[in-house]
Amino acid sequence: MKYLRVGPAGAERPVAHADGRYHDLSGVTADITGAFLAAGGITEVAGLPEVDVTGERIGSPIARPGAVLCIGQNYAAHAAESGAAPPETPILFYKAANTVVGPYDDVLIPRRSRKTDWEVELGVVIGRTARYLDSPADAAAHIAGYVLSDDVSERDFQLAESGGQWSKGKSCETFNPLGPWLVTADELSFPLGLRSWVNGEPRQDSTSADMIFDVEYLVWHLSQYTVLEPGDLINTGTPQGVALSGRFPYLRAGDVVEVEIDGLGRQRSVLRESA
């Protein structure tokens, strides 16, 4: 199943996509929330009214998550381009939940920013509460689906002004375009290809096979330290090819960032100066 949310920011409506058609979920749920996902979502669209979403704004495919947990340096080649050895245990940091915006919304360059960067990432949405899972094999039953995520970063805020933790450079407004789809695992075939472009020029091109810690391990590992709740988002790391590598310039107002993951769709964000 594929879920999306359409409509003005703050007033999105839930929609399901199946068999090439869009179906209104308003009679089933008010929104794509943790409670809806914990109840199992839907398994078929028979009887649900069809809806035309042409010309509508596409929002984040999930309502505001309770937590956005992020894994750093989880692709071997990206760790190398960052000048770091591959981590021996997952690196965890948090983004503010209010960073999440739609897949075609503008991304705002923060005041004082000189090093705004892109990061295409595979996002995991929790569907059932995960607390002290016994093993990675238990993780799949706690995953509602997968999303395309851009973990936008300001590298000076993240590193030079961090005080030792990365969240300052990750939590600026609009710094997590998400979607367009929330896709259940049965519709995907792993490994997934991840790609990004800036102004039409290729930047990242890798697959989830290069992940140091796979999705199931991450969900299990995180559950040993925190309670993962339905609707929470986990960003699982980015491949090589970001501006931090020194091979590409950082983003400026007017730049267009596109990111894509097999089966999860494509985003297009225009960079704007923050007011």
Superfamily of domain 68-273: Fumarylacetoacetase-like, C-terminal domain (3.90.850.10)
Element (H, E) at 34: helix 34-38
pLDDT tens, position by position, 210-233: 999 999 999 999 999 999 999 999
Q: Which of the 8 DSSP states describes residue 203?
A: E
pLDDT score at 228: 98
Q: Which residue has the tokens 């090589």?
A: 240
**pTM (two decimals):** 0.96
Q: Which of the 8 DSSP states describes residue 40?
A: T
pLDDT score at 162: 86
Residues of the chain with pLDDT under 70: none
pLDDT score at 109: 98
pLDDT score at 76: 85
CA atoms within 13 A on the CB side of 201: 10
pLDDT score at 182: 98
Domain boundaries, the chain: 68-273
Cα→Cα distances 138→90, 129, 178, 189, Å: 18, 12, 26, 19
pLDDT score at 164: 83
Question: What is the rounded CA–CA span in Å between residue 68 and residue 12?
Answer: 20
pLDDT score at 172: 98
pLDDT score at 165: 86
pLDDT score at 176: 98
pLDDT score at 143: 98
